[in-house]
Each structure stands twice: as structure tokens, then as C-alpha cells.
Chain A
Amino acid sequence: MAANTVEVKRNLGVESASPRRTAWLGSALVYTGMGLGALASLFPFYWLFVMSTATTADMFRFPPRLLPGDQLLVNINKVLDGVGFFQSFGNSLIVAVLHTAMVLFFCSMAGFAFAKFDFPAKKPLFLFLLLTMMVPQQLGLIPQFIIMQKLGWINELKALIIPGAASAFGIFWMRQYTDSVIHDELINAGRIDGCRSFDLYWLVALPILKPALATLGIITFLGSWNDYLWPLVVISVQEKFTLQMLIASMNGVYSTDYSMVMAATLMATVPLIVVFTLFSRQFIAGLMQGSVKD
């Protein structure tokens, strides 16, 4: 208890003549604060769920419905019947999975090369890579659209997959990680055993890089799955809509059937929550590690 009290005091920055009482008060305050914050984080999700289980008439009523209703399946069926939900879901899945796979391959390979090989102009090339991270995406938006027109990639999913298939951030991330976990001795041993450069990457390094690949993979997948501006620019036919485009367009069109829009939003959000819940510990640990390195 005594050690605990000291910890509490240290972490709260409070001092008092009666440490025991302060500790109790302090932890009550911390839990209250954390609880309120958690409530604020979760309430919009709860609200989304409540709205997805209500009728549209329920929503235009006062006082607002605060408990779930029984219309969830009805609303989900309406979404599945109406507007090509599966198609958009499939499009988003194809785009996010292929994009992530390419990013992981190209970035880990380049990160490995930057970390473990020497070659002329390595430093300026890496500096250039870092500089490209400073440029906002919107700067090239219009020419990128024109390039897609010239390539005939308008309304093609590859327009969402290829341009960002090797990211500067990803290479930077993988280089840092490779540098810190793979020792030169291991590379030399691999060479002596007859590995060629690509084998060193594929057979020796890649298995060790798994944790970093997992974090980069989640970041990339989420970014790809959630992107809206670029798909909005290059995709205009409904069959090629991503999920984000679909729910955004439903929000504009079906304002009279609000519960259906909410159900679609719920259906677009739940898979993310499931995936995140499965990997959150590793993901957050990876992010924290990345943010304090150097």
C-alpha cells in the first residue's frame, strides 16, 4: 500500500499530510476521469447502433430513443437489397488488401536495403525520400487525376491501388526497425551460407520483421479502407464505389430513410472494430515504439 501511495502521489503530482486519503481520492478522480473519457469515446458508436436498430420515424421524434430497438435486421436487409453494399464492400476489400500487400513488400524490401546495404548515393536518396513526406497529397491531386485519365484508369480499382504502392513513410518505418533488430552478423552469416541479396531479405530478414510488418500493415489497411478524397476524384460509377463512397452517397440520397443509412454505416464500421480489437495491443505497442525511437 505504501509503495502504491507513493506512486499515486508521483503520478498525480499531489502532496498531502495524509497520504492514504489522498491516494484514495486520487484514484477515484483518475477512474472518474478515465471513465468519462471512455464514455465520450464510445458513445457515438453506441448511438450509431441505437439508430441502426430504430425506425426512421423513431429518429424524428422527441425525446430521442436512447435504447436499441428491434429493427436492426429490417434495416440491414434494406441495405443489402438496395444499393450494392456487397459490391462496394468487395471493392474496398480488394483495394485495401492488394494495396497493403504491395506496401508491405516494397517498403520492407527498400527498408532492408537502406538498413543493411551500402551503395553509392544512399544518403541523398534516403534524404530525398524523407523530403517527399513533407509534400501534402493535395498538391499533386489534379495532375494525378489527369494521369489517370491518360492511362485510362478512371473508374478502375487499380487507380486506388498502384499510385501509393510504395510509401516513403513505410520505407522509413521499416528501415528504422530493420536497423534495430537485425544485426550485421546475421546478414554476414547468411552470406557465408550462400544467400544472395534477395534471399537475405526474403529468407533471413522478413521473418524477423513480422511485428513491424503487422503495425505498418494495419496502418496501411486502415488508411486505404478509410480513404475518401482520392476515390471520390477517380471513381464515378456505382459499381466501382468503395464502401466509404457508398455510405457517403447514401447519406446524401436517402435522407428520408435515415435508419438505413445508419445501418449501412454500422456495417461499414463493425469489421474495422473487430479487426482492431483483435490486434489493438500489438498495434498500439508498435505505434508507441515508433513514436519515441531516435
Chain B
Amino acid sequence: MKSLRPYLAPYLMISPFYLLFMVFGLFPILFSLYLAFHAWDGLGEMKFIGLRNFTNLITDDPDFWISVGNTFAIWFMSTVPQLFAALVVAFLLNAAFLKFKDGFRAIYFLPNITSIVAVAIIFGSFFGTEFGLINGLLGAAGLPRIDWLNDTLWVKAAISLMVIWRWTGYNAIIYLAGLQSIPNDLYEAATIDGASKTQQFLSITLPLLKPIILFTVILSTIGGMQLFTEPMILTGNSGGATKGGLTLVLYLYNQAFVNQMFGYASAIAWVLFILIGAFSFINWKFVSRGERV
């Protein structure tokens, strides 16, 4: 041990993270794996039941599959428009002649700093069935009202809209950073070589932006799989009358802290983890495919 003495200082300096992680990170992860193979209500005795939590989840729990389907649907409905809009915003923000750039960036970023609870309460007032703003406008236009929070598809649209509103500016600013890091000489050289603007976009901008697009896709995937607060505030524990807003984490929360099924909920947590990992991997493969456009 004496040989480690000169290294004491750096070890001490990095130790808070590792100590905290042992207690509040690593141990919980291992313990949740242990719990996933047990039946436990949090009070009585833990009972080892092997893989039964997982087999129940997969073969005998329609609500689980509903929550998986909902999570993926909301992820898709929010990520695609959000990243596309962010790309457009980033291009516009990058326009050389644009004035008030700082102001625009701050305004576009503002939704992202606002708490999801506040956002969900505000958007809840947009989507009310009787007195909501949107249904009011629909009614004024002579269109039928929509039962936003109880319709299995529209509740997803409502949640997705909140996610899009919150994250478009964030992603736009990340893209903007990417756009600004592309050296100007590349475009100048391409112009001299007679490349059109479309060609320049396809063979300079897009390929160089690819790592950043990949980064935002993965980030959106991880965030999308963990959606909780939006549906919780908007629809309550249940995910709405038709369970259209019941996401995986909302379901996990219900099973753990409403139904006191800690073992079962731990199994859900592991499925969530595996889904996030697998899905991030697929995204990575998909987006990095055909590296040279």
C-alpha cells in the first residue's frame, strides 16, 4: 500500500463520486436485479420465484404491452417532427444576415428550462375536452371536439406535442453548434469545383452533421423511453380512460408505488433498461449506415 501514497490526493479527489455511486447507484442496480427474481410487497418476506416476473410480464400482462406500444408510439410521434424542426431552425439561425440571433436562441431554448410539471399543467389547459383552448377553436371553426385525454391516439398526440415543444429548441442549438463547426473553406472549395447548393448540402453539411444527429437521436431515444411526468400530470396514474398515455415508466411507478409489487416493478425496470440499450444500438446502426453519402 505504501507505493500508492503519492497518489492519495487524486484518489481522494475522485472518491466522492465512487462512494456515492456504490451506495446509491451500483448497489440499487444489483439489488433490483435480485428483486426482479422475487415476489415482494416491500414489507413482508421476499419470495424467490425465478423468471416468473418476466414470463408474467411477457405472456400474461396486456397492460405491459400497452405501455410498451404507447412508449414507442409517443417516442416516434415526438422524435421525428422534433428533430426535423430542429434542423430547420438551426439552418435559419445560422443564416448570416439574421439579426437578434441571441434573442431567438434564448426564446427557442426557453421551453427547455421550464419544469415538465408546469408545462404539463399549461398544456392540460390546451387539451381540456369541455373548456380547452384547442377544442374551443375547433368548435368555433365548426369542427367536432376531440376528447384529447381519453382517446388512445389523441392523448399520444397531446403528450408528443409537449415533448416537441420542450425539446426542439434544445436540439436546434446542438445542431447549430454542429453547423458552425463546419469550416467555410469546404463550401468555398466546393463552389469553385462547381458543386450546386444541394450537392454541397448532401455531401458536406449532412455527412459532417451526422455524428451530431446521431447524438440527438440517441438522446431522444433515452429520453423518450423514460417519459413519465408528462403523462402523469396530464392523465394521472392510469394513462387516461383508454390507457393511451400509460408509458413504461408510468406503469413501473404504478406497479411499485401504487400496487406495492416491488419484484414485478423491478422486472419492468430491467426490461426498460434492455429496451433502451437495444434501441439505442439499433438507432446507432441505422443512423450511421452508409457513412459516405
Q: Give chain A's interface residues, CB within 8 Å of chain B.
A: 4, 7-15, 27, 30-31, 33-34, 37-38, 40-42, 44-45, 47-48, 51, 59-64, 106-107, 109-110, 112-114, 117, 119-120, 122, 125, 129, 132, 134-147, 162-168, 171, 196-198, 201, 222, 225-226, 228-229, 233, 244, 247-248, 251-252, 258, 261-262, 265, 268-269, 272-273, 276-277, 280-281, 284, 287-289, 291-292
Contacts and interface: CB of A to CB of B under 8 A. Distances in A.
Contacts of A13: 197-198, 200-201
A120 B8 CA distance: 11
B111 A110 contact: no
B165 A41 contact: yes
B105 interface: yes
Interface stretch (B61-69, B70-78, B95-103, B152-160): B95-103
A119 B7 contact: yes
B29 A139 contact: yes
Contact of A113 (B10, B20, B111): B10
A138 B233 contact: no
A269 B115 contact: yes
B230 to A, nearest CB: 10
A48 B126 CA distance: 10
Contacts of A134: 277
B10, B85, B96, B276: most-surrounded residue (chain A CB, <10 A):
B10
Interface stretch (B47-55, B169-177, B238-246, B283-291): B169-177
A142 B177 contact: no
A222 B117 CA distance: 13
A287 B113 CA distance: 13
Contact of A33 (B42, B88, B119): B88
A78 B292 CA distance: 61
A67 to B, nearest CB: 14
Contacts of A277: 106
A137 B252 CA distance: 12
Contact of B32 (A34, A132, A140): A140
A114 B24 CA distance: 22
A38 B117 CA distance: 22
Given A45-B110, A251-B121, A143 B31 contact: yes
A47 B198 contact: no
Given A197-B10, A268-B115, A144 B110 contact: no
A272 B95 CA distance: 29
A38 to B, nearest CB: 5
Contacts of B233: 248, 251
Nearest to B178: A292
A113 B13 contact: yes
Interface in B230-267: 232-233, 236, 249, 252-253, 256-257, 262, 265-266
B159 to A, nearest CB: 15
Given A44-B119, A248-B117, A110 B13 contact: yes
A175 B115 CA distance: 28
B139 interface: yes
A33 B93 CA distance: 10
Contacts of B265: 142
Contacts of B115: 225-226, 228, 244, 268-269, 272
Contacts of A196: 9
B113 A222 contact: yes
A12 B95 contact: yes
Given A141-B269, A197-B13, A276 B106 contact: yes
B13 A38 contact: no
B200 to A, nearest CB: 8
A96 B253 CA distance: 24
A114 B13 CA distance: 9
A53 to B, nearest CB: 14
Contact of A162 (B20, B96, B181): B20
Contacts of B148: none
Nearest to B174: A291
Given A110-B13, A142-B265, A228-B229, A10 B139 contact: no
A136 B270 contact: no
Interface string B4-39: 100101110110111011011101110110010000
A165 B28 contact: no
B108 A38 contact: yes
Contacts of B88: 33
Given A41-B108, A44-B119, A197-B13, A143 B125 contact: no
A119 B62 CA distance: 52
